Structures are given as structure tokens and as C-alpha cells.
Amino acid sequence: MAQPQRRSATADARAVRPAPVPQKPDDFDGLESAKDLLKRLEELARKGGTFSTKGDLKPYAFYGRIHLSMSQRIQDQLWKFGFSAMARNVLDHMSVHHDDLALVEMTQRGLAEKFGCSQSKVSRSISELSRQNFAWKESRGMYRLHPLYAYRWGSDKQRDLVNKLGPKVLTAREIVIPNVRKAER
């Protein structure tokens, strides 16, 4: 014999009703919003297809057929500057021991003791770096490394430092890669 249904089960089923479908707002135009979304997605694809909270990245500098950033280009062509061994040692020391503002706290006497040479040799090497605009003296015992050499091109640190220094400082201290003639090689 079949059992009768309970009244409470049928009463609960009648009490639960689905919510009505929300109405579209009067200013909603499905086609226009789809076009706007498509336009935004195309813009995102042009920028590399990724979401980012950072500002727009600066493009790389192109030299002929080579796709390199300026910092890579300077590293690759460093031999053309003809730095002395001591100048390279000082430059390497500065590139390792600088802070976020590309400042290096060092004295010529301290470097001379570290490298086991005379203070005048360190002074000549710092002058050599300063002539080529790789580093310059900010104050006594404080030197600044050029942002193009200190940081990777387009990095956040490099961008912040360039903004802090301003265009006048960097245009006055431009690193120009020298041309080397075939006869000199």
C-alpha cells in the first residue's frame, strides 16, 4: 500500500519560489557595451595581453637590426671606452654597492686600501669614469652612478631615479658610445 504524502513536504515546496529575473537598466545597450569591451580587449592585446598596475613601459631603444635596451647596449660596448683596469674595478665596485638612488658612499682612501694601490690611481680612475659620465661626485665621499648603467632599462628603479634626477641632469651627463676605427683595433 502506498503511503500518503506528508502535508509539510508539499507546503514547503509551494512556499519556495525562484526570484524574478532582474530587469535591464534603461540605459543598458548590449551591443554598445560589447563593442566597448571588444575595444578594451584589443587595447589590452596591443599592450602585451597582461594586466598590470604599473604605468606604461617605455619602449626599447633600437640600434639597427639589434633589439637591445640601452643598458644592454652600454654593457656590450663597454670595451670601446678604453677604461683602465683600475677604472673598471671602481666601476664594478660602484655597480655592486649602490643604493636605490644609485649613490655610492666611498672614499678614495678606502678604495685604495681595498684594491691595494695608491690614492692617486683611484682618483685618476674616478676622473676617467666622470669624463665618460658613468659616475660623478655628488658630495665628499658620495658618488652617483649613471642610471643607465646602474639599472636595467625601463625597470621601476631606473624610472623612479630618472624622474627624481630630472631631464637636465641626465642630458648634461649623457653616455655616448665612442666609435672605434678599424685601424685602432
Tell whether the model's pLDDT for residue 5 goes beyond 70: no
| CA gap 149, 162 in Å, rounded | 12
Confidence at residue 90, expressed as pLDDT on a 0 to 100 scale: 93
Rounded to two decimals, the pTM is 0.58
C-alpha cell at 106: 666611498
* DSSP designation for 80: G
Compute how many other C-beta atoms are within 10 angstroms of the C-beta atom of residue 153.
20
Report how far apart, in Å, the C-alpha atoms of 33 and of each of 24, 112, 169 are: 13, 68, 47
Q: Give start and end residues of each alpha helix (H) in 17-77.
A: 30-46, 70-76
At residue 74, the pLDDT reads: 80
Each residue's pLDDT tens digit, 29-88: 566 677 787 787 787 777 766 655 555 555 544 444 444 456 677 888 888 899 999 999
Position 47 in a domain: no
pLDDT digits (tens, 9 = 90+) for 161-173: 888 888 777 778 8
pLDDT at 153 over 90: no
User: Residue 164's domain is classified under what CATH number?
Assistant: 1.10.10.10
Q: What's the domain range around 140? A: 69-172
Domain annotation covers residue 2: no
In a domain, 18, yes or no: no
Tally of domains in the chain: 1
d(CA 60, CA 51): 20
Q: Is 153 within the bounds of a domain?
A: yes
Q: Which of 17-21, 37-41, 142-146 has the highest mean pLDDT?
A: 142-146
- The rounded distance, in Å, linking the Cα atoms of 4 and 25 is 48
Strand ranges (DSSP E) for 106-146?
135-139, 142-145
Query: In this structure, is residue 133 part of a structural domain?
Result: yes
pLDDT at position 148: 78
Distances (CA, A) of 168 to 29, 45, 107, 141, 144: 50, 35, 27, 23, 15
- Is residue 48 a part of any domain in this protein? no
Query: What confidence score (pLDDT) does residue 31 get?
Result: 60
Q: Which residue has the higher pLDDT, 119 or 58?
A: 119
Q: pLDDT value at position 109?
A: 93
